[in-house]
């Protein structure tokens, strides 16, 4: 038997739009889910009187709203704000509420640049690569040369975003910048991987020959690529491609008709294009 979850307050007729996460909330339970799942991203931007007013007027949670208004008047913390809501609703056990408060409390000490990076990182993790790159570029203009470590992290994550967009030349430039700033081995490995992805075999071999300091790292890259190729062989996508190849060969030799093969290729290509459009939207 499934567990019944009793709602707190009422379902809002007018949703509350959380600009930071681009979502509409229709109930206090949805707000609780947001507080727990996105705790790493929360800051004082969530502590708005408009949100408290929405809980009061749209969700009918007068007592909760009164407690939150009192906290706002006392300039309380974001962690306390979230804790009051979570404890009032009781959707999560005490240990989850405590952990959420601790995460939010830890983020309250972040500076403006670190907060902006956290926002860009959130976009990157959720596949909004162009949005993340826009935030990272803006952040670089703020950082200048004041924080080499944070700047290196920004360049590295920009490289990840570009690589996700299959823009490997741009990705390599960002990974190289990150490596030159902090000397991280992972940035170097991804720099060489990106170069290998957009270069022809002879060009890449010549590149490594011209940079003997990268020799050991290039061996690591080759091992990674071999491992990735081995993992790909076991995927559904590879099995589908193999089946299609057999389909084409048998279709050609038996009936001289490759139409089903090309129809399936077009379907698969359209599906991949759809995924790509979601990434870059």
- Give the pLDDT band of residue 226 (cuts 50, 70, 90): confident
- Give the pLDDT band of residue 23 (cuts 50, 70, 90): very high
Q: Is the pLDDT of residue 6 over 60?
A: no
**Helices 94-107 and 28-37, axial angle in degrees (round to 10):** 60
Mean pLDDT along residues 197-214: 93
- The rounded mean pLDDT for the chain is 84
Query: Contacts by 94-97 with C-beta closer than 8 Å and gap 24+?
Result: 96/36
Q: Is the pLDDT of residue 263 over 50?
A: yes
Which among 43, 198, 37 is positioned nearest to 108, based on CA atoms?
43
Q: What are phi and psi of 17, to 5 degrees?
A: -90, 120
What does the pLDDT read at residue 254?
A: 42
Q: Which residue has the higher pLDDT, 65 or 273?
A: 65
* Per-residue model confidence as pLDDT tens digits over 40-63: 778 888 899 999 999 999 999 999
What does the pLDDT read at residue 7?
A: 64
CA 30 – CA 203 distance, rounded (Å): 53
What does the pLDDT read at residue 147?
A: 84
CA 47 – CA 35 distance, rounded (Å): 12
* Per-residue model confidence as pLDDT tens digits over 97-145: 998 998 888 777 777 788 788 878 878 887 889 989 999 999 998 887 6
> How many other C-beta atoms can be found within 10 angstroms of the C-beta atom of residue 160?
18
What does the pLDDT read at residue 273?
A: 63
What does the pLDDT read at residue 260?
A: 61
Residue 24's beta-bridge partner residues? 17
Q: Is the pLDDT of residue 276 over 60?
A: no
Cα 76 versus chain centre, distance: 30
């Amino acid at each position: 038997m499934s567990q019944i979850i009793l709602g707190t307050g009422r379902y809002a007729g007018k949703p509350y739009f959380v600009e930071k996460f681009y979502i509409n909330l229709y109930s206090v339970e949805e707000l609780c889910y947001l507080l727990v799942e996105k705790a790493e991203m929360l800051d004082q931007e969530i502590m708005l009187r408009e949100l408290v007013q929405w809980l009061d007027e749209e969700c009918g949670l007068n007592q909760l709203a009164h407690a939150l208004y009192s906290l706002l008047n006392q300039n309380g913390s974001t962690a306390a704000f979230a804790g009051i809501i979570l404890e009032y609703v009781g959707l999560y056990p005490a240990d989850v509420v405590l952990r959420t408060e601790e995460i939010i409390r830890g983020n309250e000490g972040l500076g403006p640049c670190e907060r902006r990076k956290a926002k860009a990182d959130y976009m990157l993790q959720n596949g909004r690569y162009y949005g993340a790159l826009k935030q990272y570029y803006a952040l670089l203009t703020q950082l200048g040369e004041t924080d080499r470590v944070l700047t290196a992290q920004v360049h590295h994550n920009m490289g990840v975003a570009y690589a996700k967009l299959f823009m490997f030349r741009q990705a390599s430039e960002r990974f190289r910048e990150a490596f030159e700033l902090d000397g991280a081995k992972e940035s170097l490995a991804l720099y060489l991987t990106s170069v290998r992805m957009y270069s022809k075999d002879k060009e890449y071999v010549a590149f490594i020959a011209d940079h003997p300091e990268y020799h050991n790292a290039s061996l690591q890259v080759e091992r990674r690529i071999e491992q990735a190729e081995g993992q790909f062989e076991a995927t559904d996508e590879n099995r589908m491609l193999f089946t299609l190849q057999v389909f084409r060969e048998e279709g050609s030799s038996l009936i001289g008709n490759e139409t089903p093969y090309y129809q399936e290729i077009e379907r698969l290509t359209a599906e991949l294009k759809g995924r790509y459009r979601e990434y870059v939207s």
